[in-house]
Structure 1
Amino acid sequence: MIKLKRNDKIGLVFFLAFIISMSLVWLFEERFDQEQWRSNPGKRYKMAKNIIEQDLLDNKSKEEVIQILGEPVTAEFSDNNILIYQLGTPPSFFDEEPQELIIVLKDSKVIHVSVNQEE
């Protein structure tokens, strides 16, 4: 049997704690689900991070975005370069402001996706 020094044991404990915590974060993180997105607009904030991190909308056309996410709440500006989707209000101790997903288009393709507080 291998004998570990005290510092090695401490390092092993921290390493295992890190692996377990990252596994739990991954397990409970909400991933984009088109059916949930459309049927439960008040809980969309849970999926917005996944949409951005996985680049699910990058270089998609306006039509493709609407096919994936449904009709936007508003299409701002006369040339329809911005699509806005309401995300609902995430639970928070401080800010209880509703959020929205902002999708910026250029030449009819998505160039930027972000989450902002509704004004």
Structure 2
Amino acid sequence: GGRIVNYLKAMLGDPRHEVVFVGYQVKGTPGAVLQAGAEKVELDGEAYPRRIKVTTLTGYSAHADQAGLVEFALGAGSAVRRVVLVHGEGRAKRALASALGNKYAELGCEVGVTVPA
């Protein structure tokens, strides 16, 4: 549900687009149908042909504590130049930003960590 339905309606038929899932999609949902490789997906009662590329990234989980999230971020390697924290409560995001900033500084890495307002 939400805005993604409108985005998908507009983009599903165009092979220049790609949808990237960062985790599990509940069985029977349009996301799960796309992940399964269906040639059509039903949105709001209408069938849309799938011509977009569909990718699923693994390794993301909403069940990590701060230490686990820091470990995950550091595991991304030296290519990371910026981390933007967009999900979670403000206090928790600020604490994670501080922990990441401190860890990157300890390692001598110049990585910007931001929490949008």
The structure where helix makes up a greater share of residues is 1
Report the TM-score when normalising by structure 1: 0.28
